[in-house]
Amino acid sequence: MKKARVLPVLGNLAVLAAGLAVLFGLPAFAETYLIINSTIFAAFAILALSLALIWGYAGILCFGQAAFFGLGGYVYAVTAINMGDTTVPAVLAVLLPALFAGMLGYFMFWGRISDVYLGVITLTVSLIFFRFINQTAGEQWNIGDAPLGGFNGIPATPILNWPGRPGDQLAPENIFSLAVGLLIIVYFCCKILLATRFGRIIVAIRENETRAELLGYDVRLYKLAIFMIGGAMAGLSGLLFANSVFVSPTMFSLPVSGQIIIWIIIGGLGTLIGPVIGCILMQILTNYLGTLSQVKGFGWVDPNLVLGVLLVIFVLLVPKGLTALVADGWRWLASLATRPRAAAEPAARERTSNP
C-alpha cells in the first residue's frame, strides 16, 4: 500500500527532473541545429500527449489529430501576418482548434458515432484540410495580407515576439525554452486533470459507457470536453511547430496523423510518459535514418519502411508498448532480487498483491 503511493511520486519527480535538465541543460552546450530540432521534438511531444489523453484515457480513437495541429499552425500564421503582434494569434492558435474540435465532436458524440466511424470521420476531416490547403496557391487565396500559399505553405510564418513588443522576436533558444517549458506544463496538467473528478469519470466512461450512463452521467458532454482539450493541445503543438519550422499543408497530411498513433503504440497506450518517449525516440530514429540514407551505400534505407516494420514488431510482440515493457522488466528484476533473500511467505504475498 505504502509502496503504491510512493512510486508515482518518484515517477513524477523523475519526469520533472528530466524535463528541467533538458530545459536548462541542453542550451548550455547544444548547437542551434540541435536546439531547433529539439524544439520540434517538444512540439510533437505535445501533439503525442493530446492523442495520449483522448485515445489512451478517454478511449476516443481520433485518427485526425493532425487537423487540429495544422489548424493551430495556420490560424497562428495567418492572424500573425495580419496583426503584426503575435500574442493574440498565439491564443487563437489554441482556442480555434478547440472550438473546431467542439463543433466536430458535437456532431460525432451527439450522433452516437461508434469507434471505427469516428476514426474514419476524423481522418477524412484532416485529409479535406490537406487537399484544400494544397490548392490555395494564388492571390485569390490571400486572407488579408497572408497568402495561404498552396502546397508551399507559408514560409514567411512570423516568429513569436515578446508580448506587447511587436517586432522583438524570440530567439531560437527562447522558442526552445518555451516549447520544452510548455511540454512540461502540459504533461503535468494532464496528470492533474486525470486525478480530478472529471478525469476519473472520463476513464470510467472509457471502461464502460453504458454503465456511466446508467449512473446518470451524460457521456456525450464528457467526451466533448476531453475532445476539445485534446484539440487545444494539438493546436498548441501546431503553434510551436510553426515557430520552429513554418506552416505547410503537410501538417494536415496522413503521415502526421499516422505518426502520432505509432508514437503512442510504441510508447504505451494508456500512459502519458510513454507517448512522449515514443515520440522523441521515433523522431530521433527518423532523423538518423534520414541522414543515414544520404550516406553512400545506405541509399536503400527508407525511414518510413523502418518505422512500418517497427510498428508491426511492436503490435505483435510488445502490444503494451515500451513503458509496460520497462515496468514488467523492472518487476521481474525486483522479484529476482527479493526471492532468495526474503522468506517465502512475504514474497508470495507481495506477488499476489501486485499482479
Partner 1 sequence: MTATALLETKGLTMRFGGVVAVDHVDFTLQEVELRCVIGPNGAGKSTFFKCLTGQLRPTGGEVLFRGAPVGRIGTHAIARLGVGIKTQVPNVFDGLTARDNVWTAATKVAPGRIAERRTDEAMERVGIAGIADRIVGQLAHGQRQLVELAMVIAPEPDLILLDEPAAGMTDEEVDRLVDLIAELNQRHALVVVEHDMQFIRRIAKTVTVFHQGAVLIEGNVADILTNDQVRDVYLGKQAA
Residue 104 CB contacts under 8 Å (≥ 6 apart), including other chains: 121, 122, 125, 227
Q: Does 254 bind partner 1 (CB under 8 A)?
A: no
Within 10 angstroms of residue 69's Cβ, the number of other Cβ atoms is 33
Tell me the window of 24-32, 87-95, 198-206, 247-255 that interacts with partner 1 (CB under 8 A): 198-206
Give residue for cell 503537410.
250
Which of 143, 217, 287, 289: binder of partner 1 (CB under 8 A)?
Answer: 217
Specify the residue, 164 or 216, whose C-beta has the smaller distance to partner 1.
216
Q: Does 214 bind partner 1 (CB under 8 A)?
A: yes
Comparing CA positions, the residue from 136, 355, 81, 97 lying closest to residue 230 is: 97
Beta bridge partners of 142: 147
Which of 124, 208, 304, 338: binder of partner 1 (CB under 8 A)?
Answer: 208
| CA–CA gap between residue 319 and residue 295 (Å, rounded) | 33
| CA–CA gap between residue 65 and residue 218 (Å, rounded) | 24
Tell me the window of 118-126, 186-194, 217-225, 302-310 that interacts with partner 1 (CB under 8 A): 217-225
| CA–CA gap between residue 268 and residue 245 (Å, rounded) | 28
Backbone angles phi, psi at 147, to 5 degrees: -80, 130
Backbone angles phi, psi at 154, to 5 degrees: -120, 85
Tell me the window of 97-105, 195-203, 253-261, 288-296 that interacts with partner 1 (CB under 8 A): 195-203
Give residue for cell 482556442.
95
Q: Does 204 bind partner 1 (CB under 8 A)?
A: yes
In angstroms, what is the minimal distance from the CB of 197 to partner 1? Answer: 6
Q: Does 302 bind partner 1 (CB under 8 A)?
A: no
Q: Does 197 bind partner 1 (CB under 8 A)?
A: yes
Comparing CA positions, the residue from 248, 250, 232 lying closest to residue 193 is: 232
106, 107, 194, 217, 233 from 220: Cα distances, Å: 8, 10, 18, 9, 20
Q: Does 3 bind partner 1 (CB under 8 A)?
A: no
Q: Look up residue 268 and give its amino acid.
A: G
Tell me the window of 176-184, 196-204, 236-244, 284-292 that interacts with partner 1 (CB under 8 A): 196-204
DSSP 265-315: HHH-TT-SHHHHHHHHHHHHHHHHHHHHTTSTT-TT--HHHHHHHHHHHHH
Specify the residue, 198 or 330, whose C-beta has the smaller distance to partner 1.
198
In angstroms, what is the minimal distance from the CB of 279 to partner 1? Answer: 24
In angstroms, what is the minimal distance from the CB of 341 to partner 1? Answer: 26
| CA–CA gap between residue 58 and residue 227 (Å, rounded) | 9
Q: Does 213 bind partner 1 (CB under 8 A)?
A: yes
Which of 164, 167, 216, 340: binder of partner 1 (CB under 8 A)?
Answer: 216
Specify the residue, 89 or 268, whose C-beta has the smaller distance to partner 1.
268
CB 237 within 8 Å of CB 92 = no
Residues 219-248, interacting with partner 1 (CB under 8 A): 219
Q: Does 200 bind partner 1 (CB under 8 A)?
A: yes
In angstroms, what is the minimal distance from the CB of 156 to partner 1? Answer: 48
In angstroms, what is the minimal distance from the CB of 355 to partner 1? Answer: 7
> How many chain residues are in contact with partner 1, going by CB under 8 A?
20
CB 149 within 8 Å of CB 135 = no
Q: Does 183 bind partner 1 (CB under 8 A)?
A: no
Specify the residue, 302 or 328, whose C-beta has the smaller distance to partner 1.
328
DSSP 141: G
Tell me the window of 140-148, 214-222, 223-231, 254-262 that interacts with partner 1 (CB under 8 A): 214-222
Binding site for partner 1 (CB under 8 A): 1, 197, 200-201, 203-204, 206-208, 210-219, 355
